[in-house]
Amino acid sequence: MVLPTLGRGTRLLALTYGLALFFWLSLEDTSVAPVVAFGFGLAILIIGLTTLDKIGGQWLTVRHFFALTVLSGVALGLGTSVATAVLMFFKNARHAHLFPDYPTGMIVAMLERAPWWGVAGGLLGLSLGLGWLAMRRKENERPV
């Protein structure tokens, strides 16, 4: 399998994410769901763009692709937790209220979830890799 390379679409996706993030940072929002979604998006962008930049356009064997999906899933889970905590911190720093939008305990609790989110991401990567492998084998089989 050959991984795609970076193109205009990936740059447009990153720009759209950045604009949405700047819009969200200006809102007075204290719910956790949007910041986790933005943290997930940031982790996907960092992992995806870095992967496509470093090994995009190269041929990957099945075992390398399978390992890439699992390791990317682990990195995505860990990265989501860390990116969410960083975004919470930056929103607190930008607004500078007497009572922050996201208290320190909430930020620390988000970081405490990092190992479990890493495990969940690894299992998601494992399932996507196995699903891709099963679909690939099914396509290569010829009907009798």
d(CA 64, CA 133): 12
Domain assignment present for 3: no
Mean pLDDT for the stretch of residues 1-30: 90
d(CA 40, CA 140): 34
Domain assignment present for 94: yes
Domain assignment present for 83: yes
Using an 8 Å Cβ cutoff, are 110 and 84 in contact? Answer: yes
Domain assignment present for 144: no
Domain assignment present for 142: no
d(CA 35, CA 37): 5
The fraction of the chain above a pLDDT of 90, given in percent, is 68
- At residue 56, what are phi and psi to the nearest 5 degrees? -65, 140
When the pLDDT of each residue in the chain is averaged and rounded to a whole number, the result is 91
Domain assignment present for 141: no
In the DSSP assignment, the letter for residue 15 is: H
The mean-pLDDT minimum among 13-17, 59-63, 138-142 falls in: 138-142
The fraction of the chain above a pLDDT of 70, given in percent, is 95
Q: Give the count of domains, the chain.
A: 1
Q: Sort 20 into a burial class: Cβ within 10 Å, 0-12 / 13-18 / 19+.
A: middle
Residue 142 has pLDDT above 60, yes or no: no
Given this model, what pLDDT does residue 140 score? 64
Domain assignment present for 86: yes
Given this model, what pLDDT does residue 139 score? 66
Domain with 66, as residue range(s), is 8-136
Query: Each residue of 52-111: pLDDT tens digit?
Result: 999 988 988 888 988 999 999 999 999 999 999 999 999 988 887 778 889 999 999 999
Mean pLDDT for the stretch of residues 23-48: 93
Domain assignment present for 40: yes
